[in-house]
Structure 1
Amino acid sequence: MLKHMKLTLAFAAALGLVACSSTGENKNPLLSIKALPAMLSNKRPAPPVVTAEQITSVLAATDRPNSIFVIENTAAQLILVELQRNGPYQTYGSSARQAIVLRNGKIVSTRGFGGDLMSSDEGGLLSLVRSRSVGTTSYTLRHLTSDNQTTVSTFTCKLDAGQTLPVVSGEVNRKGRVMTATCKDANRSFTNTYVVDGGGNIISGRQWLGDVLGYFNVQPLRI
């Protein structure tokens, strides 16, 4: 998986494609100069919020695929652009050296967020999701701990198909079937949700990435 994490960060830096506040100023996705006074006074700064103007600007600035990522734990919103593609794997990154790797629209690893998802064995789960099929499969996640140890967690996931919904965001204007994956091991459980079009493309999704990262939402603006 490491080969999918080599980033051409100069591209993202040149475009300034990182999370922005409602003022429209480019910022580090999780920290800004204006947020420092609040942090020093033990007040939590307001998370970055993506605006319609920023979405329009990003779509005009590049013809590459790009997506909005929402971190539920912090409510931070990031617009990231595809920096590298290797088969079905797409690496999205920011000038702050944060990276998210997607396989066919599903997050399979992260870097630079803390408590990162180092890799996953998602083939069985992704196959059911993309084919919009019900069934049960295993799903393995690997995380890096604070003392540089890798933990391995394997979950059993049950896939169910739901209603068909329209998804309109940026250049995406499609209908998709809601696929819900209910996953659990001996101690934990979580629910991932994907909206999948007829071609097997994940056009919207919410998935759990681990105890530290929690849930990330992904909304493609251009696939």
Structure 2
Amino acid sequence: MKSRIGALLLAVALGGCGSESDKLAGPNLVKEGAMSVASAAMFWKKKPPAKPVDAEAMARGALELNKGPLILASFETGYTDIFGMVGENGAMRTYNSPGSRAIILRGGMLAGTRGFGFDMMSAETEGTGRLIRARQAGQAKKVLRYLDGLGLERPLPLDCAVATGASTTYPFAGQSWSGQQVVERCTGSGLTITNTFIVSAEGRVVSSRQWVTPQVGYITIQTVRP
């Protein structure tokens, strides 16, 4: 089931603004991104369909029970959960779910996962991260490292292009969130990956849809409490 947040990000992606080059690049990247969906591993496919999740209610409940920073993460497989921050080191934040799965973000960019079976072990995202947080079009390289089916760590070097899109404001969990859409399209080793971000005027990633690994596919992350 596509989450409400994921649908929102794709809807926002249809807009375009910025420089003339951005206006041409942004919609094209978004169109390609909507068509580019990574395949899931067999162990994901064999799981029974997840029950519908009320993300809004889940987020509101977490705000009442927790004091610190929170995110809501939703996978293409239907798995959705709240993750609370358990560690912070500079721009690096580690969030854990109640089931001890972990999502690691560096300045809003996905830098690793733990406990999902085919995890992203690490990521070098400094170049694209600077462009995305600055809401600036440009090109940069990045490297993702993930576990394959044999449990071996595989590097995935990527060439990426960043383009800007429309500004948006939307409600979630009793709050109003605003930002500009930024699209990152990366290619390498026969893969095309398109990540979508909503970035605030202060350069904070408010929400995003980011690729994890070939087996896991994409994850949608919404800030619940910064």
What TM-score do the two structures reach when normalised by structure 1?
Answer: 0.76
Shift of 1:77: 1.0
Shift of 1:87: 1.2
- Cα distance in 1, alignment partners of residues 88 and 47 from structure 2: 39
Q: Residue 53 of structure 1: SS of its match in structure 2?
A: helix
Contact 1:110 1:116 in 2 (8 A): yes
Q: Residue 154 of structure 1: SS of its match in structure 2?
A: strand
- Cα distance in 2, alignment partners of residues 217 and 206 from structure 1: 4
Figure out how many residues of one structure are paired with residues of the other and give that number: 181
Letter in 2 for 1:196: V
- Cα distance in 2, alignment partners of residues 182 and 53 from structure 1: 32
Q: Which has the larger radius of gyration?
A: 1
Shift of 1:144: 1.5
Q: Which is worse superposed, 78-87 or 111-120?
A: 78-87
1:137 aligns with 2:137: no
Q: Residue 213 of structure 2: SS of its match in structure 1?
A: coil
- Cα distance in 2, alignment partners of residues 138 and 206 from structure 1: 19
- Cα distance in 2, alignment partners of residues 192 and 80 from structure 1: 20
Shift of 1:46: 2.4
Equivalent residue number for residue 154 of structure 2: 151
Contact 1:177 1:197 in 2 (8 A): yes
Equivalent residue number for residue 191 of structure 2: 188
Contact 1:70 1:216 in 2 (8 A): yes
Contact 1:93 1:99 in 2 (8 A): yes
1:54-88 alpha-carbon deviations (Å, 9 max, x no partner): 3222101122111110101x111111111111111
Contact 1:167 1:176 in 2 (8 A): no
Match of 1:54 among 54, 58, 64: 58
Shift of 1:148: 2.8
Q: RMSD of aligned C-alpha atoms?
A: 1.7
Equivalent residue number for residue 71 of structure 2: 67
Distance 1:56 1:139, change over 3 A: same
Q: Which is worse superposed, 135-144 or 95-104?
A: 95-104
Q: Which is worse superposed, 93-102 or 51-60?
A: 51-60
Letter in 2 for 1:169: F
Contact 2:56 2:172 in 1 (8 A): no
1:121 aligns with 2:124: yes
% same residue: 29
What TM-score do the two structures reach when normalised by structure 2?
Answer: 0.75
Distance 1:51 1:140, change over 3 A: closer
Match of 2:201 among 198, 203, 218: 198
Q: Residue 209 of structure 1: SS of its match in structure 2?
A: strand
Contact 2:60 2:174 in 1 (8 A): no
Equivalent residue number for residue 40 of structure 2: none
Structure 1, unmatched stretches of 5+, are 1-41
1:167 aligns with 2:173: no
**Which protein has greater RCO, CA pairs closer than 8 Å, 6+ apart?**
2
Shift of 1:169: 1.9
Shift of 1:171: 5.7
- Cα distance in 2, alignment partners of residues 198 and 157 from structure 1: 23
Equivalent residue number for residue 39 of structure 1: none
